[in-house]
């Protein structure tokens, strides 16, 4: 994580969701659901809304702020992701996606924060979905890529994730995703969390101490295994 903060500062920082992400929550709602699954996994829902804006950098910064919160406050086996693009302008999002930025964000999540992805459930009936997955899958390990499942309706989720965990927007019993989003914004904007981010933002590396030959081997393409860290 120290190396990633140094090499990719654009993803990190003291990020206040109340003031630093105008328009993001008109583009999507992205929340961790309150209840764990029976096998102790967190459910992470991203619901893309019908917006022409695609604020990819802000989304990743918010995601990393959530990851920092989970790292300091939560215990869980891994994450089950729900990516709901059923009402979004999906083709527009694909055209605007920065693939290099997406690759970096994936590596930060998996290799940096150690987030274990049990499954990725995509909700969409778009004919362009296969094209999008063809772009995303090469960025993932073969194991994670094999865990991507596509559903055409919310009802299909009920066979996999209990209704008591899902928001009522998805036919579940939990509070609405909009309400949960508002609660997360409040929590992530708290003085306690912002102070924590300030401390973590200082945990970087002195790259001038790194052997250049090792750097080329380890970080070209962000392979995901870091063996040498020089912390200043």
| Residue 60: Cβ within 10 Å count | 22
Strand-pair partners of 120? 81, 148
Computed over every residue of the chain, the mean pLDDT equals 86
Instruction: For the chain, give the percent of residues with pLDDT over 90.
Output: 48
Closest CA to 118 of 188, 207, 43: 43
pLDDT at residue 228 greater than cutoff 50: no
Task: Please report which confidence band the pLDDT of residue 213 belongs to, taking 50, 70 and 90 as the band edges.
Answer: low
Residue pair 225/218 in contact by the 8 Å Cβ criterion: yes
Whole-number pLDDT of residue 212? 66
- pLDDT tens, residue by residue, 21-44: 888 999 899 999 999 999 999 999
Instruction: For the chain, give the percent of residues with pLDDT over 70.
Output: 91
Task: Please report which confidence band the pLDDT of residue 207 belongs to, taking 50, 70 and 90 as the band edges.
Answer: confident
pTM above 0.95, yes or no: no
Whole-number pLDDT of residue 118? 95
Give the CA count within 13 Å in the CB-facing half-sphere of 212.
0
For domain 8-203, give the fold.
Phosphatidylinositol Transfer Protein Sec14p (3.40.525)
Residue 6 backbone dihedrals phi, psi, to 5 degrees: -75, -45
DSSP the chain: -HHHHHH-GGG-S---TTTS-TTHHHHEEEEE-SSPPTTSEEEEEEEE-S-S---HHHHHHHHHHHHHHHHHH---SEEEEEEE-SSS-HHHHHHH--HHHHHHHHHIIIIIS---EEEEEEE---TTHHHHHHHHGGGS-HHHHTTEEEESSGGGGGGTS-TTTSBGGGT-SBPPHHHHHHHHHHHHTSHHHHHHHHHHHT--B-GGGS-HHHHHHHHTT--S------B-
- pLDDT tens, residue by residue, 41-75: 999 999 998 777 778 899 999 999 999 999 989 88
């Amino acid at each position: 994580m120290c190396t990633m903060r140094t090499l990719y500062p654009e993803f990190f920082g003291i990020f206040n969701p109340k003031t630093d992400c105008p328009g993001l929550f008109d583009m999507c709602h992205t929340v961790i659901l309150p209840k764990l699954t029976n096998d102790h996994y967190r459910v992470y829902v991203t619901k893309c809304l019908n917006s022409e804006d695609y604020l990819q950098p802000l989304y990743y910064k918010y995601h990393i702020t959530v990851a920092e919160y989970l790292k300091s406050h939560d215990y869980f086996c891994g994450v089950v992701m729900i990516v709901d693009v059923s009402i979004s302008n999906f083709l527009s999002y694909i055209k605007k996606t920065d693939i290099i930025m997406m690759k970096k964000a994936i590596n930060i999540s998996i290799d940096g924060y150690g987030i274990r992805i049990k499954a990725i459930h995509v909700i969409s009936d778009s004919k362009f979905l296969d094209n999008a997955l063809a772009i995303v899958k090469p960025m993932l390990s073969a194991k994670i890529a094999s865990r991507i499942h596509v559903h055409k309706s919310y009802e299909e989720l009920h066979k996999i994730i209990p209704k008591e965990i899902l928001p009522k927007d998805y036919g579940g019993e939990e509070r609405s995703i909009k309400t949960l989003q508002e609660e997360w914004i409040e929590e992530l904007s708290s003085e306690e969390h912002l102070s924590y981010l300030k401390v973590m933002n200082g945990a970087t590396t002195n790259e001038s101490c790194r052997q250049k030959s090792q750097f080329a081997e380890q970080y070209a393409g962000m392979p995901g295994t870091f063996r040498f860290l020089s912390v200043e």
